[in-house]
Amino acid sequence: MKIKLLFLISILFCTGSYAQETVTEPDFIGEVLVLNPDNSTTPLEKATVKIKTKANASVYLVGMGKVKTKINVDGPSAQVRLHQGDDFKLIVRAVDNNTDPMSIINIFQFETGKKVRKPSYLL
């Protein structure tokens, strides 16, 4: 009876430890991976932006006027595409567990052009 009980406990222990799934995590702080439904991960693109600022002539003359700032990213599209209906999760490497991931990364929706992308609004 003891042998059967030990055998059942060992089977339960083995199946419980086998059920643990491992997911790769980003290597560096600030990196983001997309967790796909099949538990595969895809690293997201890190892009450097070009900030262009234009000011009216009245800003230079009077000190009051309009200043427009535009953010541009090179390339007509990103290398990694996420579609609206897809089920995915983002994995962000933070300094520690007390850090909010949204303070590390920014998520934008872009309007595409021929050579550059421009953010349409913040999400």
Tens-place pLDDT, residues 41-71: 889 888 888 888 887 776 666 767 778 888 8
Residue 97 has pLDDT above 50, yes or no: yes
User: Per the confidence metrics, is the pTM higher than 0.75?
Assistant: no
> Chain centroid to CA 33: how far?
6
CA 121, CA 123: separation in Å to the nearest integer? 7
Q: Which residues touch 19 (CB under 8 Å, ≥6 apart)?
A: none
Q: 107 is written with which tokens?
A: 């998520």
Predicted local distance difference test score (pLDDT) of residue 19: 55
- Which of 15-19, 72-76, 80-84, 102-106 has the least mean pLDDT? 15-19
* C-alpha neighbours within 13 Å on the C-beta side of residue 91: 15
Place of tokens 């799934």: 21
Predicted local distance difference test score (pLDDT) of residue 60: 66
